[in-house]
Structure 1
Amino acid sequence: MDLLSIRLLLDFGLMVLIWTVQLVIYPGLCHYRQEELGKWHSIYTQRIGVIVGPLMIAQLAVCILQLWQEKNLYTWGSLVIILLTWILTFLIFVPLHNSISPDKPCEEITNSLVIKNWWRTWLWSVLFLGSLGLMITDYNF
């Protein structure tokens, strides 16, 4: 399997994951009773981390390999977008997730997660569409 095929699979996996988080998981957090939210959220973040962590690391590694092989708009643009998703994840979303606790109303935090997560949703969607377009057209940007 070539790097572009691997990259397409990683981009697809992260896009599906982020859309699931955006449309199902984040809005669903407030359907837990306040005292159960903290307990469930701790379990959720550990479990989702096992999925998203390796995908994000692999996506970055493959992008760097692609950039090493060929420097073009696609590889440089992909690296910039991937780094933006990392920055958003660790500077905005990790602190937001850490602020979820049983003694705080979840509506405010959940609304903030949903609104801010649109950035990552669009970024990972653009990455997938770029990889798909490159795969379909076999065009080298």
Structure 2
Amino acid sequence: MLRIAVDFGLMVLIWMVQLLIYPGFEFLAASTFHKWHRKYARNMTFIVAPMMFVQVFLAGYFIIYKPGLQLWNISYAILVALTWISTFLIFIPLHKKLDDEPHNVTVCRKLTHRNWLRVILWTAIVILDVALLIEL
């Protein structure tokens, strides 16, 4: 149940980021963007990071302690790993660029367009969770 709760929470959160928060970056006043973005990034980290760490822990736990479900567990671990890789290789650098160049509309749009990758990944994780529940 913890896995489903965390995965569903991250999926809902990423959809909100995709449909509301990232597109809204373009409409923030340039004079306050930098201050708001730094606060947003810090506070979002406090919410997202613990949930992502739980996902990694659960991915390892299920691979080690639920060997009868290896295909499901390896698929889950790969999807979780891809969320981490994309976050560190794509999204953290884009947010850093927004810190360096506040209210850069081109970077804001890249963030929104590229974030579809994480939307797909976290949605796929929840679909995998539901499929596993149906299978069991």
Shorter-chain TM-score range: over 0.9
Name the TM-score, length of structure 1 as normaliser: 0.90
Is 2:35 the partner of 1:39?
Answer: yes
Look up the match of 1:73: 71
Tell me if the contact between 2:33 and 2:102 (Cα under 8 Å) persists in the aligned partners: no
Look up the match of 2:81: 83
Look up the match of 2:92: 94
Report the Cα offset of residue 106 of structure 1.
2.8
- Counterpart Cα distance in 2 of 1:60 and 1:94: 18
Look up the match of 2:56: 60
Tell me if the contact between 2:14 and 2:118 (Cα under 8 Å) persists in the aligned partners: yes
Kindly provide the amino acid, as one letter, of the partner of residue 74 in structure 2: W
Look up the match of 2:24: 28
Call closer, same or farther: CA 1:106–1:132 in 2, change over 3 Å. Answer: same
Call closer, same or farther: CA 1:32–1:102 in 2, change over 3 Å. Answer: farther
What is the count of residue pairs matched by the alignment?
Answer: 134
Report the Cα offset of residue 33 of structure 1.
0.7
Residue identity (%): 35
Q: Which runs of 5+ in 2 are unaligned?
A: none
Kindly provide the amino acid, as one letter, of the partner of residue 55 in structure 1: M
Name the TM-score, length of structure 2 as normaliser: 0.93
